Amino acid sequence: MRSPVANPLAHRLEQYARLSPEDRSALDTLASGPQFRIGTRRDIILEGERPSVVRLILEGWACRYKVLPDGRRQIIALFLPGDLCDLHVYVLRQLDHSIGTLTEVRYVEITRERIDMLTTHHPRVTQALWWDALVSAAIQREWTVNLGQRDAMERMAHLLCEVFFRLRAVRMTTGNRCWIPLTQNDLSEVTGMTTVHVNRTLKELRTRGLIAWKGREFEMLDLEAMCALAMFNANYLHANHEGSHLDANAARMMLHEAEAVAREDAEQK
């Protein structure tokens, strides 16, 4: 259950589009670049620093967070295996948030040149990355609704449903079981609830027979009831190949046609 997936990015992007063998090979090459390991509860990059590379999480959990001047912290995004820590972050002069680990993390650093090369020669991957960016924005919208409108039970249930579906998309679930390494303090910083309230809410979810959670081993005992409680609709995760009508072969033909037009223009000049 905890075993790392060889290339979780490929599994993630295949939610949105049909990728050709060449596309998957290019993604495997991307994920095999210089790799780094960093321990639990460590910062990868801090607010105010200048980002120069895109980081792809291969193993472990990380988060995006903000810290107020008085030390209070809000986790504003979770990075799971297969997640890119912002595809175009290198355009910023300085980061407006921090990225830190929640567990030990293995990640790869990807330069702007490698991203440009990938998107130039693999249009289906580019389209899948567009879908991925839209899903990231949709997740942020749901988190805003969570904080503003859902009560404690709904808020916690929604978060756990989302995490479960995201892990399932990158093949990191076994049946209704998965590994969730979030502490009650982490959950507090995600949901805006006190740790005492988090503890009570999780106890109630267990009492209702909806979840089992011991250590890091999590089980969704009644997924349908959890989704109903949270008013959870997984459509914002767009995990149903919505871009598959533009298959990999069609994309390659579009690329070849564009290259042919470019060659003709160059010859005429």
The chain-wide mean pLDDT, for the chain, equals 89
* Residue 34's pLDDT band (cuts 50, 70, 90): confident
Q: Where are the domains of the chain?
A: 1-149, 150-269
pLDDT single digits (tens) 79-100: 999 999 888 787 888 999 999 9
Give the pLDDT mean for 24-36: 90
Q: Is 38 in a helix, a strand, or coil?
A: strand
**Tens of pLDDT along 120-149?**
999 999 999 999 999 999 999 999 999 999
Architecture of domain 150-269: Orthogonal Bundle (1.10)
CATH fold for the domain made of 1-149: Jelly Rolls (2.60.120)
Q: What is the pLDDT of residue 17?
A: 87
Residues in the chain: 269
The strand pairing partners of 54, in sequence order, are 110
Q: What is the pLDDT of residue 242?
A: 54
* pLDDT above 90 (res 32): no
pTM, two decimals, is 0.86
State the pLDDT at residue 241: 57
Share above pLDDT 70 across residues of the chain, in percent, rounded to a whole number: 87
Smallest CA-to-CA distance from 18 within 194, 246, 172, 220 is with 246
DSSP element (H, E) containing 214: strand 211-214
pLDDT (tens digit per residue) in 240-266? 755 544 444 444 444 444 455 455 555
pLDDT in tens, 177-211: 999 999 999 999 999 999 999 999 999 999 999 99
User: Stretch 19-24: mean pLDDT, rounded?
Assistant: 93
Cβ count near 36 (within 10 Å): 12
Counting other chains too, the contacts that 4-10 makes at CB distance below 8 Å and 24 or more residues apart are 4/58, 4/59, 4/81, 4/106, 5/81, 5/82, 5/170, 5/171, 5/172, 7/31, 7/58, 8/57, 8/58, 8/80, 8/81, 8/82, 8/170, 8/171, 8/172, 9/56, 9/82, 9/84
